[in-house]
Structure 1
Amino acid sequence: MKLFGLISLFILTSLSSNAQDMLRLEDAIQQGLQNQYSIQILKKREIQAANDNSLGNAGFLPTITGTATKNYTVSGLDQEFFGGLRAPLVQSGVKSNNGNAGIAMAWTLYDGKGMFVLRDRFKELQNLGAKQTETSIENLIAQISTLYYDIIRQDLRVNNFRKGLEISNDRLKLAKDRYEVGQGSKVDYYSAQVDYNEDKALLVAQEQSDLNTKISLNTLLVRPHLTTFQTLAVIDLLPKLNLGELKEMALKQNPALMVALVSKKISDLDTRNLKSQQTPQIDLLAGYAVNNVVNGAGFGVQRGSSDVFNYGLRATINIFDGYNQKRRIQNAKINAEIAQLQIEDTKNQLIAAIERSYTAYENALNLISLETENYTIAKQNIDIAFDRFKIGIATSYELREVQRNAVAAETRLIEARYAAKSAEIELIRLSGNLL
């Protein structure tokens, strides 16, 4: 019986019976991008940055304020006049009121181009928010992809251990039958039982690891943790990546590097904005006000109103503020220098990360070639050893060693393919190509 040939049948059966639970990588990524809270938060911050990027916030538009007041008074009068020319005036509960309403406008005509700098700054802040969102999206896609292929790795390991358990079960049955008919020893029977129990324990532990990984993916996709699903049991690899092309693309479009570059632009704009505050600011002022009064005292003006319109220019300039403006400009220039250093540091770290990942990637590809050959030989050995064991030529110990070698060879092949895929995903992420 060619037990290692059962893997294809197992996969096809699993897929046909669980087609409704099949989760493709593209679907997992889509769910993660839609449901992940961190992405939702970043998108809302993008909306905030877009709202801030307006002409009014930059200072291009005038500010217009309106005011209105109405005052009521109740007063008493007790007045005597010189020479008796007029009778004394005694009043109580005298009601009077006055009101005024007005509108005022201030419009900055010139501020050393500060408003243009602010407009550019808000534009770059919006761009920065978009780049930060893009970075988080690429990181999330990489996490989901790596975890998805980890589940495939765990599934393949489960299947590998199941095949090993099937061999141990067949060996146990043969050992038991031989012992019962007096052709085998009790030691061989008990050894087969112990090995079967050991393989069963390994399978249970691997199934638990598989379940834990699926729970982790469900958590990342923000859906019920115990949601069941199936994956295609294939760790597929892209054509071999080129190191030089990866570095070139990373320096052009890596999201983290783009964030550093935008931050440098914002630092430069902060310096220009502070310098603009050293120039005079000229504002156009205009206003209109209406005032009315009602006097219940019985003398003077009984009722009246007036209105006034005013306009003019206002120029302001900071003459001396204890050198604080100079200090702020110096610090802004230092911040720009720091931002430039951060760009160079990001580039350095980025190239180093690509070099490390590419080394791991190449090593994994070499191991795949090696372990594929080992696995092919191990499959042949297990079939030969099992046939020899059935006819009594091979010992129980020999079969067990061949079985262990076969399971270990397939496990190493699975691990090599997963390591290559993980490195491949990381290289694509670093190059800025996951989107």
Structure 2
Amino acid sequence: MIHKIVTSLIFLCLTFGLSAQEKRLSKEEAVRLALEHNFGIKMAKNLTKIADNNQGILNSGYLPSLTGTAGANYNDLNSSTEYPGQFDTSGGAREDLEIDHAESQTYNAGLNLNYTLFDGLGRLYNYKRLKEQYQLTELQARETVENTLLQLFSIYFEVARLTENENVLKQALEISLDRITRAEYAFEYGQNTKLDILNAQVDVTNDSINLLNTKQQLANTKRDLNVVLNQSLSEDFQVDTIVKFIPRLQLDELIAQARENNVSILQAERNLNINEYDIKVNRSGYLPQIGLTGSYGWNLNQSAPNSFLPGQVIPGSNRSSLTFGLGASLTWNLFDGGRTTTLLKNSKISYENQELLQEQVELEVDRDILNALASYENRLNIYEIQEQNVITNRNNFERSKEQFQLGRITSIEFRQAQINLLNAQTNKNLAKYDAKLAELQLLQLTGQLLNVEL
């Protein structure tokens, strides 16, 4: 009864993958999806766009500023003028003078233009600094892409490894199921005991548990890959398990050009250029600034009636004017309390620190390349050894299988040969992808991860 339940469970595990039509996700397609949809790469591209905006002419300080102004005022005046002790021409008391709702309005509009003709070259060097900052941001985005691709392939190859392990475990399970069948037939004909059947059932149970665990790990790892690709977590696929290694001659050529292409060294060089422009920008504070100004204005004044002359009301008037002005200014900060001098000294010290940092980065990159190359060669040798070990253990398993069927070795000895082959196959799978990841890490250090066919 237990045998039937286990067999049914394993049959479902083996046929589940066949019932789903899984698409093939090649390495090239995975890279394309990551470049288009990965969250980190999208944010890096947006930061590059910001840096591109900052380096534009609109943020350079070379364009003039033009401002417009306009205004309007309205007044409503009610006045009463008395003339105590005064008489008109007829000898009677002079009447009071009343002015009701005397309205006055004023309107004005103007344009003001300001342009810095010369600012001690600070504007020029700051503009060049923004250009360098943009190129630095591009390198930072490239570094994000490289790190993302390494993460992508780390997960992709883990999916490939678990896929191959799954196939190995399926084969091991099929062999164990065949052992149960043979053990049952042999027991029916009196050629062995019930113990052989029980041993085979134990091995089937262990193989089925290993297979179920591997399937679960594979499903989890596929979800991890879907996160990197920014696609549905339920997306199912098969990956490419074929691995090709770059020829050593080509690898040596890439290593020789590492200093010209390594992203960390290139970033250090850009930072050094930025610090150099900082020195020039701060030095411009010693020079004068020359500016031009221009203005154009229009005014309209509508005055209210008033009692300027005794006994008379002067009617209101309208007065309009147009004005145009042009001027130049010279500003020279002869002494600012030492602020410019302090900024200049500090920027020179920062430049020296950046030179030291660049030397440190170059030395560390050289070290990392040598370490990565040694690790790659070591893992490649281990992979070649594991390949030979699989051949040896497969030959041993086939011979043990023949001896077991002839009854010359026990089921325990046969199981040990099977386990040895299983371990050799899974170790070979691990060594293969470890070697490929080491190669990719070496390619990143040479600055060629995005330029080499994977």
Q: Is the TM value for this pair above 0.5?
A: yes
User: Residue in 2 aligned with 1:346?
Assistant: 361
Q: How far 1:114 sits from its partner (Å)? A: 1.5
Per-residue deviation, 1:349: 2.9
Structure 2 equivalent of residue 337 of structure 1: 352
Question: Does the alignment pair 1:224 with 2:239?
Answer: no
Query: For 1:1-20, what aligned pairs fall within 5 Å after superposition?
Result: none
Measured in 2, the distance between the counterparts of 1:85 and 1:111 equals 72
Report the Cα offset of residue 17 of structure 1: 9.1
Give the distance between the partners of 1:45 and 1:423, measured in 2 at CA: 30
Per-residue CA deviation, residues 35-72 of structure 1 (Å, 9 max, x unaligned), is: 11222222222222222223342221211111111111
Residue 81 of structure 1: CA displacement? 7.7
Distance in 2, Cα, partners of 1:316 & 1:124:
29
Corresponding residue of 1:387: 402
Amino acid at match of 1:370: I
> Which residue matches 1:61?
63
Q: Distance in 2 between matches of 1:20 and 1:194?
A: 32
> Which of 278, 285, 303 lines up with 2:286 in the alignment?
278
Give the match for residue 292 of structure 1. Answer: 300
Is 1:181 the equivalent of 2:183?
A: no
Question: Paired residue for 2:427?
Answer: 412
Structure 1 residue matching 2:66: 3-state secondary structure: strand
Q: Which residue of 2 aligns with 1:397?
A: 412
Q: Within 5 A, what are the aligned runs for 1:109-128?
A: 109-128=117-136
* 2:404 aligned counterpart, secondary structure: helix
Aligned-partner residue type, residue 417 of structure 1:
K
Q: Classify the secondary structure of the residue corresponding to 2:239.
A: coil
Deviation at 1:350, TM superposition (A): 2.2
Cα deviation digits, residues 312-355 of structure 1 (max 9, x gap): 21111223333222222233223323333332332233223222
CA contact (8 A) 2:69 2:109 kept: yes
Measured in 2, the distance between the counterparts of 1:78 and 1:272 equals 70
Q: Pick closer, same or farther for the CA change 1:241–1:89 going to 2, 3 Å.
A: farther
CA distance in 2, matches of 1:46, 1:78: 72
- CA distance, structure 1, for counterparts of residue 215 and residue 55 of structure 2: 53
- C-alpha distance in 2, partners of 1:198/1:47? 56
Q: Is the 8 A contact 1:128 1:262 kept in 2?
A: yes
Contact 2:296 2:322 in 1 (8 A): yes
Q: CA shift at 1:411, angstroms? A: 1.4
Structure 1, 298-307 or 286-295: larger mean CA deviation: 298-307
Alignment partner of 1:257 out of 261, 265, 270:
265
1:200–1:146 distance in 2 versus 1, CA, 3 Å: same
Larger Rg, first or second structure (1 or 2): 2
By how many angstroms is 1:243 displaced? 6.9
Q: Given that residues 247 and 351 in structure 1 are in contact (C-alpha distance below 8 angstroms), is that contact kept between their aligned partners in structure 2?
A: no
Q: Which residue of 1 aligns with 2:35?
A: 33
Equivalent in the alignment of 1:94? 102
- Flag the 1:150–1:281 CA change in 2: closer, same or farther, 3 A: same
The partner residue of 1:155 within 151, 159, 163 is 163
- Partner Cα separation in structure 1 for residue 24 and residue 192 of structure 2: 47
Q: Displacement, 1:246?
A: 4.3
Q: Structure 1: any 5+ residue segments left out of the alignment?
A: 1-12
- Distance in 2 between residues matched to 1:281 and 1:78, nearest whole Å: 57
- State the alpha-carbon separation in 2 of the partners of residues 256 and 79 from structure 1: 87
Q: After the TM superposition, which of the residue ranges 66-75 and 260-269 deviates more from structure 2?
A: 260-269
Indicate conservation of the 8 Å contact 1:101/1:289, yes or no. Answer: yes
Aligned with 2:116: secondary structure? Answer: strand
Kindly indicate whether the alpha-carbon contact (under 8 Å) linking 1:33 and 1:137 is maintained by their aligned counterparts in 2: yes
The alignment covers a number of residue pairs equal to 423
Q: Give the aligned partner of residue 212 of structure 2.
A: 204
| Gapped regions of structure 2 (runs ≥ 5) | 1-14, 89-93, 307-313
TM-score, scaled relative to structure 1: 0.90
The answer for the alignment partner of 2:317 in structure 1 is 302
Give 1:19 shift: 7.8
Query: RMSD between aligned alpha carbons?
Result: 2.6
- Give the Cα–Cα distance (whole angstroms) in 1 for the partners of residues 230 and 250 of structure 2: 35
Alignment of 1:423 onto 2:438: yes
Distance change (3 Å), C-alpha of 1:81 and 1:138? farther
Is the CA contact 1:280–1:315 (under 8 Å) kept in the aligned structure 2?
Answer: yes
Q: Percent identity?
A: 31
26-35 vs 294-303, greater mean Cα deviation: 294-303
Q: Distance in 1 between matches of 2:87 and 2:132?
A: 79
Q: TM-score, normalised by structure 2?
A: 0.86
Describe the shift of the 1:82–1:104 C-alpha distance in structure 2 as closer, same or farther (beyond 3 A): farther
2:305 and 2:316 in contact (8 A); partners too = no
Amino acid in the other structure paired with 1:200: S
Which of 174, 180, 183 is residue 172 of structure 1 equivalent to?
180
1:376 aligned partner: 391
CA pair 162-336 structure 1, distance change in 2 beyond 3 A: same
Q: Deviations over 1:301-321 (max 9, x none)?
A: 611112221112111122333
